[in-house]
Structures are given as C-alpha cells and as structure tokens.
Chains A and B, each alone.
Chain A
Amino acid sequence: MNRFVKMHDLDMVATALVDLKKGETAHIYSTDNVLIAECESLDHIPYGNKIALIPIKSGEQIVKYGANIGACTAEIQRGALVHVHNVKSNVVDIPPVFKKEIMRQMGIDVKEGFTNEF
C-alpha cells in the first residue's frame, strides 16, 4: 500500500507517507486509518509532500487541516504535486530565491520566467 493521509474531510490534498513515483497509485487514508480513495500520481510525490485529490484552479484557496494554507498560482490537476511551484502563502511567502533552491533540490522543473504569481 502507498500510504497517504488526508487530515480533514474538507482537504483538497493528502500527505505522502511513502515516496511515490510518477504513474503509481496513492492510497488515501483518513486520520482514523480508513482507506477512503485512490489516486494515480502525475508527478513524483516525495515522502511528506502533498498530492492533489481534486483539480484546483489558479487563484483558488488550497485547503489542508480544514483551513486555507495558501493560494493556487498555476492550475493543478488531480494527482499532481502541490508545493511551492504552484502555491503561494496568503500571509508571508517564501522569497523567490529560496523557492528556486527548494525546487532545484527537489528536482521540480523550473520553467522559464517562473514568478509564482497569478
């Protein structure tokens, strides 16, 4: 089983408790340990990172723990990695230079002209 946990009923994302390769199936568990969904990954989802459980439009709020954790900056498909390349904070965002370093270290493609704005 490729264990992922969805922390709250309202959440749009689930957290990887395994390292999931692109094209593999994520098994989504609730916090009381019930298998609630399956989802094929469109990206490599490293341990601890988030997979999208539904399609999310640019500008929409991302919900985890039942609350808004940031705004979507580029359309996210179901099964895609949700992270600094397609989400920005509503409060104090990570500086671009650090975002680029995070993406470089994680092997996330940095597109030409990446700004992480709407």
Chain B
Amino acid sequence: MNFKGFLRPDGSVGIRNRVLIIAVDECCDGIARAIAKTSDDAVVLTNAYTCMLGGNEETLNQMIANAENPNVAAVLVLAMGCGSILPSQVMEPLKSTGKPVESLICQTVGGTRKTVDAGVAILKGFEAYTNTLIREEVPMSKLVVGIKCGGSDTSSGIASNPSVGLAADKLIDLGGTCIGGELFELQGCQDALRARASSPETYLKIERLIENERMRWSVEGTDVETMSIGNSIGGLTTIEEKSLGAMHKFGSKEIVDILEINDKVVEKPSKSGFYLSEATMLCGGAGVNYASYGAHMILWTSGAAGFENPLVPVIRVSGNEDLINDDIDVDATGIMNGKENLDTVSNRVIDKLVEVASGQPTQLEGLGGATLTLYQKDQRLDTLLNIRCNKAQ
C-alpha cells in the first residue's frame, strides 16, 4: 500500500507543505501572526514562556524538532533581538534538512512594521518554492502516526480506542510507525507493557519514565487531577480504569523503544514499528511533542471533542452516538450499538489515514487548530526529585 507525499531534500516525506514561523521569544508573537495572516500555509510556533534559554532547553529542542518535521517545507525564524535565544541556534541544526530557512531579528531589521513587511516578502518566496513541489507515490513505511486520546468517556474504552488500536496493528503490518505517549495514564498497565517491550532494557526505560511522571504529578502542594470531573461523571472511576481503556488504542505490537524528549535530546524512531514516548497527556502540548518526534499526523480518540493541530493533521475517532458531530473524521458508533465490529471500523481508520496522508483535508483542517503549545518539564523540579541524573543524553 502507498500514499502520495512530498519528497524532502533529506529523503524524508511530508504530507503537507506548511511554512513554520517560529517566534523564539514571546515578544515577537504578534509579528509572527501578522506575517502568517497573509498565507494559508503558515503555522506559528511561539515560545510563550520566556526569551531566556536557561531551563528552557527542552523548548528550544522542540522548536528545532518541529522545524525538522517533514510536514514543514520552509521555515522563518523570528526574534526581537534582546533575548538570549538566537535564531542561529534554531537554524544551524536545520542545515542538514536542506529545506529553505530564513530569519529576521526585529531590532536589526528596523522595527515591527519593517519586520512584518520583510516576513511577508519571505513567505511569498516560500510560496513560489512550495508551488513547485509535487506529490509522489511513497510506501506506507514512510508514515509516522501519533496516537492520543482526549475528552475520553465510556465510548472511548469500548469503541474508539480498540478500533484505533487494531488500526495501529494493521498500519505496522503495512510497514508504518506509530507513537503513543501519555505516560501518567499508563499507571497500572505495567504488566501488559512488560510483555510487549522489545527487551528487558526497553521495559526498564518504560518503567523509569512512567515512574518519573508519577513522581512529578505526585508532588504535594496542589490537588492532582488524574482525570477531569467530566471523565468521572461519564463513568470512569479510577486512573487505572482510564489507563486500561486508554491503552487499547496502542494496539498489541511489540514496543520497539520509548522516545525521550528533554533538555538534551529529542529521540526519534530508528525503524518502523510501535513506540511509546514522553508525549504529554495534555492535547495541545502533545501535538507539538508528536511533531517533534517526526509524526505526520495524529489519530485522536474522543467522546466527541474537536482537537486539531495545524502542523500535524488530526484524525478524530468517536463512538459516542449522543455527542458525535461533523468535527469527527471516523464514526465508531456502530461498535456501541452492535451493528459494526472492530475490524470494519479499523479498516475505515486505515482508509482515512491514507486519504489524509495523500492530501485530503480532515474535517477541521484549516479551521479549528489548537495553539502549538511548547509544553516542557521543569528541570528544577526534576533536579529536586533526582530525575535528571539518568536520562538519555
């Protein structure tokens, strides 16, 4: 099986030609958005934390990794000029991708208005370039798909998660790659994960990273919302119940590795198969995490909420008859009422993946995108919890 994608200079394959505008500090966010308004291809990624680098290296690593994502055809890096993150720090690692990269420093260009004008001109040049790119047939082995849930309810554990899990198994049989995450929500699943890990070392890494998340979220000082009140009213009683239902979406294949993301490194899949990762359970941040790992799109199971990511298109799957609406890309309600089985719905998920990979817009593409949230772990907290000493470097 094949899909039609855009071959990049470095041999990777994109499914969209996005122009990524990176605001390396929050002060140039408005400039980035003013420039982006002039192009349908433009997506803004703003470092909304700070203009300082110390303690925010994970954010810098993710800005670079998002620019490396194969859905990005060209990159514009913006800085105000008075902060400590320089455009060159983002641009240098991008050289090996061969994609067009430009930068503007507001202070040097001569102010906000001139920077907006210069940025609009750069985007016109990028557009001329992306217009020359043509889709070509590529094998499914080039496809990388993140798997995430959100707005979970009873139908998730019964319909959308098991059908996406079966689709993930089928995609891997076709040579593709899937990445899961949400480690805090794998508590109570350790036995099943041990059985699936590619080696004892892989399982130890999985166990360590789940335990790190448990420690971070168990620090006293505030209530821990393991689940939303809405989750519980929908029938979920404990985090273990939510986790076991949620794990169904990760299918049943061997776990090749668990991909770390931190101030030192963003690990990426080394070969086809199923991976776990440190992608957060928070949807906005997870979208950026999955883009960092090189995912082309996200399979997202839900009661019926409308999460979309402008860089990595989201395929939404719902089995909730009462809530399903035209935000949803794949209807799994037939499993709930006994009219369809998992196999039928999982085939529909695969068909949708191929269509969207080949250029068909999702139900919400270009309409309701979430903010590209640069979620990062707190290095000071990790130091206090003694987590930092044994991470991948």
Q: Which residues of A contact B240 (CB under 8 A)?
A: 67-70, 89-91
Is B134 among interface residues, defined by CB-CB distance under 8 A?
no
Q: Which of the listed residues B229, B336, B337 has the most CB atoms from chain A within 10 Å of its own CB?
A: B229
Q: Which residues of A contact B192 (CB under 8 A)?
A: 67
Contact A87 B238 (CB under 8 A): yes
Instruction: Please give the number of chain B residues whose Cβ is less than 8 angstroms from any Cβ of chain A in the complex.
Output: 32
Which size bracket describes the interface of A in this complex? 35 or more
Chain A residue nearest in CB terms to B228? A98
Contact B235 A46 (CB under 8 A): yes
- A95 to B154 CA separation, bound complex (whole angstroms): 21
Q: Which residues of B contact A77 (CB under 8 A)?
A: none
Contact A15 B158 (CB under 8 A): yes
Is A74 among interface residues, defined by CB-CB distance under 8 A?
no
Chain B residue nearest in CB terms to A65? B244
- A101 to B240 CA separation, bound complex (whole angstroms): 20
Is A50 among interface residues, defined by CB-CB distance under 8 A?
yes
Give residues of chain A (82-118) contacting chain B, Cβ–Cβ below 8 Å. 82-84, 87-95, 97-98, 101-102, 105-106
- A49 to B239 CA separation, bound complex (whole angstroms): 15
Chain B residue nearest in CB terms to A96? B223
Q: A101 to chain B: closest CB distance in Å? A: 6
Q: B249 to chain A: closest CB distance in Å? A: 13
Contact A91 B235 (CB under 8 A): no
Is A56 among interface residues, defined by CB-CB distance under 8 A?
no
Is A12 among interface residues, defined by CB-CB distance under 8 A?
no
User: Which one, A5, A64, A95, contacts B241 given CB within 8 A?
Assistant: A64
Residues of A within 8 A of B (CB): 3, 5, 7, 15-17, 29, 33, 46-50, 62, 64-65, 67-70, 82-84, 87-95, 97-98, 101-102, 105-106
8 interchain pairs (CB within 8 A)?
A: A15-B154, A64-B241, A67-B240, A70-B238, A70-B241, A89-B226, A91-B240, A98-B229
